[in-house]
A and B are shown apart, each in its own frame.
Chain A
Amino acid sequence: NAGVTQTPKFQVLKTGQSMTLQCAQDMNHEYMSWYRQDPGMGLRLIHYSVGAGITDQGEVPNGYNVSRSTTEDFPLRLLSAAPSQTSVYFCASRSGTGGSPLHFGNGTRLTVT
């Protein structure tokens, strides 16, 4: 049972480049989300999805797009990378039951130069 799998683990981009961070879960969880973690700021919610075909914005959505075509996958797209998007990105999922804990992947460390 792999849980939540994120790829790649590390990525370096130049300003203006685009890329997609991949996230897959094998727990049949309805809820999936993307967070970024920056020193001294804690985990901040970027986008989330409560099921296939349904997405919504979190606290810091600007510069990021998401889609949810299947239950298993929830990719995060950076449209035009900026240095301010240098961060560690975590994907997390949970069952649909309210109050259930999030299960996190091991993150993607992104550097934008």
Chain B
Amino acid sequence: EDQVTQSPEALRLQEGESSSLNCSYTVSGLRGLFWYRQDPGKGPEFLFTLYSAGEEKEKERLKATLTKKESFLHITAPKPEDSATYLCAVQAQGTDKLIFGTGTRLQVFP
């Protein structure tokens, strides 16, 4: 069964303190792995798509990486405005459906 597990559930960081969020997945052939950011009361906002092991994508203080079993979202020198819930999702080959993890709630305090 296709599955996505995110850890930790919650993470508190001081401004400037770099860290990583983990997304472990099992899927019968990966079509794509997606990272989203969700602010309270809003819908998820797309960040990155990764398609194959070894691929990396960067956007400002965020960098996403992918292996055959997991993806990491690295946050370098975070700022309070990076506080949000980060969601990971996978799409298997031959399907239109995305399977979502339960997210990591990130708080960055000054």
Contacts and interface: CB of A to CB of B under 8 A. Distances in A.
Interface residues of A, number: 25
B97 interface: yes
Interface string A36-77: 000011111100101000000011000000000000000000
Interface residues of B, number: 23
Contact of A102 (B4, B42, B46): B46
The 5 closest A-B pairs by CB, nearest first: A104-B43, A99-B32, A43-B100, A42-B102, A101-B46
B31, B41, B98 interface centre (most CB from chain A within 10 Å): B98
Contacts of A59: 97
Interface of A: 4, 31, 35, 40-45, 48, 50, 58-59, 90, 92, 98-107
A58 B97 contact: yes
Nearest to B47: A101
